[in-house]
Structure 1
């Protein structure tokens, strides 16, 4: 290859890489701005009600709820018969939404394929629910509790129920004995992410949340760490 052609190729590749980096920076900036604009700005945590938690692994968020309250019995929607480890005294259920192939084919983030990432960015992907069963989960920086009024919790329940697929359901084994996946509706895109689902569910309940929260941090910053006033 002649030297001028090589130089042109280097310039094209350099321009492309600069464009990719700039797009990522602008996306991150837009995510920070969008997550900082509150929905339900006047909301205040009540003194009494139902305590839920929002958990995060730094990338993905989920909503933890009591398995049984007078408002909802989640055992009817997410029966313990659907998981492998059925004999534990479960008290809570964690529910989240995400992209089908990412959830089912990436037990760790090291398994995430660049081809899958490129497809999601370009075309999006089908939604799937991830449901995990817990026994008395403890509050922590990664599982932050928040109290909702009974009416707010009922709205949260109704919002999540709207994403649950009807029976019979397509069920996929989870990462361990306590979790499971269900095919569901909704399309995952770079602007409609798992974390957007979490904040949408909480905002529909009436809780203060950012308008656009593509990243986990955009959700968790609205929840005080345990022990904070």
Structure 2
């Protein structure tokens, strides 16, 4: 496993802290993080999202996430973990608040060490090629977005919301990641975490 190297100069964050966001789309949660470290580590992301300052990142079932129409068969395969997983990156050039309402996002202040740990946890979910770069799988769902190959299996007890909670726990945040199966359970668990960093 490649180690995550902090690049504070490129990340354009305060010296000791950074704000990340948990985004709630109703049934699905994801993470919004500064893009610079990801673009530095993965050349394909720099090429694809050269102007992005943030990435909105989600993980989920490959068949369900990409489906243009949700069928009973697709849903059953997702619940049973038969489709594999995929990641969704959206490039944001402005701050998340320019795209999403306050009700949709929860800011969380992290130390730069915690941010590095979160980036590592997110990066560990990507399925990389022989050059240790991301593998694009086609256009994303909205905005400036793309799907990428991922590792791990989505199933009934390991959902996109479980993934979000697990990444936050790996960043060192005081969140119990088990049984975070719904968006509401994730948002309730992070409700008391420190909000946007005062230095920003």
- Tell me whether the two structures share a fold, i.e. TM-score over 0.5: yes
Q: Which has the larger radius of gyration?
A: 1
Provide the residue aligned with 1:221 in structure 2: 188
Cα deviations by residue, 1:98-124 (Å, 9 ceiling, x for unpaired): 000111113xxxx21111112223453
Distance in 1 between residues matched to 2:109 and 2:179, nearest whole Å: 22
Provide the residue aligned with 2:52 in structure 1: 90
> Which of 37, 46, 49 is the aligned partner of 2:17?
49
Number of residue pairs matched by the alignment:
169
Provide the residue aligned with 2:142 in structure 1: 176
Flag structure 2 segments of 5+ consecutive residues without an equivalent. Answer: 1-15
Provide the residue aligned with 1:28 in structure 2: none
Taking the TM superposition and a 5 Å limit, the aligned residue runs for 1:34-113 are 49-68=17-36, 72-74=37-39, 76-77=41-42, 79-82=45-48, 89-106=51-68, 111-113=69-71
Provide the residue aligned with 1:128 in structure 2: 86
Higher relative contact order (CA 8 A, sep 6+): 1
Provide the residue aligned with 2:102 in structure 1: 140
Deviation at 1:142, TM superposition (A): 0.7
Provide the residue aligned with 2:7 in structure 1: none
SS of the aligned residue for 2:119 comes to helix
Distance in 1 between residues matched to 2:40 and 2:89, nearest whole Å: 11
What TM-score, normalized to structure 1? 0.66
What TM-score, normalized to structure 2? 0.75
2:24–2:30 contact (8 Å) kept in structure 1 = yes
- Richer in helix (by share): 1
* Aligned-residue CA RMSD (Å): 2.3
Q: Quick one: structure 1 residues 129 and 73, their matched pair in 2 at CA, closer, same or farther if it must change by over 3 Å? A: closer
Taking the TM superposition and a 5 Å limit, the aligned residue runs for 1:158-177 are 158-167=120-129, 169-177=135-143
Q: Quick one: structure 1 residues 75 and 181, their matched pair in 2 at CA, closer, same or farther if it must change by over 3 Å? A: farther
2:81–2:156 contact (8 Å) kept in structure 1 = no
